[in-house]
Amino acid sequence: MPADGRQRIDKWLFFSRAVKSRSLGAKLAQAGRVRINGEKTSQAADSIKPGDVLTITLERRILVYRVVAPGTRRGPAEEARLLYEDLSPQPAPREARGEGNLGPQRDPGSGRPTKRERRETDRLRDSD
């Protein structure tokens, strides 16, 4: 690690446990899904320093981290949390996103007939 506290973005993402592997961190940076102080990255070798704000776009969420320190290793989660300050916006409640709804609700007994009701219906049809 250089003396000025800078570190490659792919290593830092790996050490901070934002991604599972360093190669995934490199792919994320090369795809332009990481912004350093609002500017897109194009290389995994772009360096970051303490005080930089990272905006990381993952599949279903956006992470906003302020870099507190460069990492030295991929340690436990408690150690990884010391590398950044989380500035991410709070996710919307499930009801507002529409995930809490299971679909249209129907009154009990107004749906498909039970087996007993179907047999009764069949007896009525067969009696004619």
Tell me if residue 109 falls in helix, strand or coil. Answer: coil
pLDDT tens for each residue of 66-87: 999 999 999 999 999 999 999 9
Q: What is the pLDDT of residue 93?
A: 73
Mean pLDDT of 39-48: 93
Q: Give the Cβ contact number of residue 122 at 10 Å.
A: 10
What is 1-90's CATH topology? 3.10.290
The answer to which of 33-37, 55-59, 78-82, 88-92 has the lowest mean pLDDT is 88-92
pLDDT of 128 > 70? The answer is: no
Main-chain phi, psi angles of 121, to 5 degrees? -65, -45
**b/e code 37-72 from CB counts within 10 Å (16+ = b):** eeeebeebebbbeeebbbbbeeeeeebebebeebbe
Q: What is the pLDDT of residue 110?
A: 78
Geometric angle at alpha carbon 72, from 77 and 46, rounded to 5°: 105
pLDDT tens for each residue of 11-40: 999 999 999 999 999 999 999 999 999 999
Q: What is the pLDDT of residue 28?
A: 95
pTM for the full predicted model? 0.70
